[in-house]
Amino acid sequence: MCGIVGYVGEKDAQNFLISGLKRLEYRGYDSAGIVTISENGKATLIRAKGKIVELEKKLSKNKNDDKIGIGHTRWATHGEPSENNAHPHKAGSIYLVHNGIIENYKELKAELVSSHDFKSNTDTEVLAALINSFYDNGKHPLVNAVVQALKLVKGTYGIAVVSELEPEEMVVARCGSPLVIGVGHDETLVASDASALVGHTKNAIYLNDGEVALITKNSIEVKTLNAEPVSAKVEEIETNLAAIQKGGYDHFLLKEIMEQPESLSETLRGRVDVENNTVHLGGPGLSQDELRSIKHLVIVGCGTAYHAGLLASYYIEKFTPEITVEVVIASEYRYRDAYIPDDSVALIVSQSGETADTLACLREIKKKGVKTIGIVNAIGSTIAREVDGGTYVHVGPEISVASTKAFTSQVIAMVMFGLTIAQAKSVKSSILAPYIKEIAALPEEIRKVLKDNSEIVKTIASKYVDYDHAIYLGRDTAYPSAMEGALKLKEISYVDANAYAFGELKHGPLALVDDRFFEIALLPEGPLFEKAVSNVQEVLARDGHMIVITDAQEFDLPVENVVKITTDIKIFTPLLMNLISQLFAYYTTVAKGFNVDQPRNLAKSVTVE
Ligand code: M6R
């Protein structure tokens, strides 16, 4: 949520700031701004409501070649999206960009209101004024003023600060909101997400919570807020340019849907041994004894990550007896007085590795002495660094706000974790082998399903563009898949889509069926297929407008549309059906003419509660 960039070096700062903000725009896109400072301390502040293109329009009239600057793309928390509320915020001679939330801003503002003329409704301007009060017109070093101010702050922040009075340096700090420093030649770059640095440098320092850095074009000095020096580790940025570009697709979402054969292959690389029917996960770092002793799994996530956990739990229960699996929504669980039994392990699921509620759960669970394992995509993210062990899903950057390729890989990564437990518990190889075989075959099956069905789904989607309500239905493993399908549709096409377990229909939702609604039913072949078919008939008997997604080739009920998947997969069919749901949401949104990658009101990576 929100994106920060900063530059100090020998090149034109505005160029990097704008290109960096464009890379981070998926994190927040309701307003944006940059400030640059000339060698003699003249600031150029440009801010605009709306997307970065609005900022660019203003830039042409304010072009300069200043060598230092900071920028921000915003997702509003305090104060509506407007130019006044856009960052950077100014107080005296300092400018500040900020991600996160200053929780005690009201108390701080009450103290500052007599010395600072507040122009916005943001908590960020309060922090700017606070820093300025300690800066005292440059009488104290900027870095000291920042540290003194941050010691009074409650909440979360990733910040970058520059001053007209010290136009060769920048101060950055983090607490609960990521900040990366790119180490270049005669230039130092700053971003809240390493993707903004790709193509500029491969070397980065990831700040830890409670650290502050004073940076110039060729120096980076990291300290704790208590002034203890930190010897910061320079790490390699693994992302490449192709991974953050659309690569010929109209939208990141379609690219990310289509690259699932490759992204899942990356998840599996070196972890699946089909010949010996085993999986190997190094990251969790649990001994065979520890794995054997696990009796309970808690899976924590939000949104799509939660659905991934739910789907994985159905599988893990099927092949690992003597284990209970509880899947929880992070924003709820963090405040519950939940008892976690002995011999539990918690799986913390997050694509971004920065989701505030998931991170809070991780910290609560750790306090209870429970081992935590991350199922994370973003390398070096906060969750990845705070868990006891973990399995990266390695799907590469996911830029579209709607999560797609991460879901598929999260499910499989968790199933593989379940399989490692089952192996340690000596579950018969004949029980585990079908899972392992299918996991290995999935990337190719995904490729086939996407290729065979893309055009069919596009045509079907075009018929439902005028509907505002949808019901997704499924049983057993198809139910979490239906939930994920509904989330995708509602998130990007603004259709009021909800999922129900088929068995729940008669307990209420059946009353909804009328001409305002269409229904999407997921019908994998298997023990519950006939029951699901009966449920479809119940909807048809009420004149429901039904689309069925199935792998049963002989399915012949008179529904409005059928997507028949041809596949050898038997166990993980709901994952293949979810590809159809992803495509359906994509094509519906394109047909409706909405912004596919940046749906209204949302942002990638929810770093505030
Ligand atoms: O980065 P995370 O996986 O922790 O994000 C969790 C949710 O915010 C995320 O999955 C969200 O629901 C997506 N926009 C859904 O497409």
Which domains are delineated in the chain?
3-243 (3.60.20.10), 246-427 (3.40.50.10490), 453-596 (3.40.50.10490)
Q: How confident is the model at residue 321 (pLDDT cuts 50, 70, 90)?
A: confident
Report the separation in Å between the CA atom of 396 and the middle of ligand 1, taken as the mean of its atom positions.
Answer: 15
Q: How confident is the model at residue 164 (pLDDT cuts 50, 70, 90)?
A: very high
CB of 588 closer than 6 angstroms to any ligand 1 atom: no
* Calpha distance 300→410 (Å, rounded): 12
The pLDDT of residue 606: 87
Radius of gyration of the chain (CA): 25
The pLDDT of residue 266: 95
CB of 410 closer than 6 angstroms to any ligand 1 atom: no
Pick from 407, 553, 532: nearest CA to 478:
532
pLDDT tens digit sequence for 331-360: 999 999 999 999 999 999 999 999 999 999
Report the separation in Å between the CA atom of 24 and the middle of ligand 1, taken as the mean of its atom positions.
Answer: 16
Residues classed as catalytic: 2, 604
Q: How far is CA 480 from CA 180, 404, 542, 544, in A?
A: 35, 14, 25, 22
Report the separation in Å between the CA atom of 560 and the middle of ligand 1, taken as the mean of its atom positions.
Answer: 32
The pLDDT of residue 68: 98
Query: H-helix or E-strand containing 54?
Result: helix 52-59
CB of 309 closer than 6 angstroms to any ligand 1 atom: no
* Calpha distance 132→20 (Å, rounded): 27
CB of 476 closer than 6 angstroms to any ligand 1 atom: no
pLDDT average, residue stretch 157-171: 97
**What is the number of the ligand 1 atom nearest to the C-alpha of 401?**
14
Q: How confident is the model at residue 599 (pLDDT cuts 50, 70, 90)?
A: very high
**What is the number of the ligand 1 atom nearest to the C-alpha of 491?**
16
The pLDDT of residue 254: 98
Report the separation in Å between the CA atom of 357 and the middle of ligand 1, taken as the mean of its atom positions.
Answer: 11
pLDDT average, residue stretch 322-329: 96
The pLDDT of residue 411: 98
CB of 401 closer than 6 angstroms to any ligand 1 atom: yes
What does pTM read for this prediction? 0.88
The pLDDT of residue 5: 97
Q: How far is CA 392 from CA 79, 274, 371, 579, in A?
A: 36, 21, 17, 22
pLDDT tens digit sequence for 535-574: 999 999 999 999 999 999 999 999 999 999 999 999 999 9
For atom 10 of ligand 1, the residue with the nearest CA is: 304
Pick from 234, 123, 221: nearest CA to 172:
221
For atom 7 of ligand 1, the residue with the nearest CA is: 303
Q: How confident is the model at residue 81 (pLDDT cuts 50, 70, 90)?
A: confident
CB of 395 closer than 6 angstroms to any ligand 1 atom: no
Q: Give yes or no for residue 304 having a pLDDT over 90.
A: yes
pLDDT tens digit sequence for 480-529: 999 999 999 999 999 999 999 999 999 999 999 999 999 999 999 999 99
CB of 100 closer than 6 angstroms to any ligand 1 atom: no
Report the separation in Å between the CA atom of 349 and the middle of ligand 1, taken as the mean of its atom positions.
Answer: 10
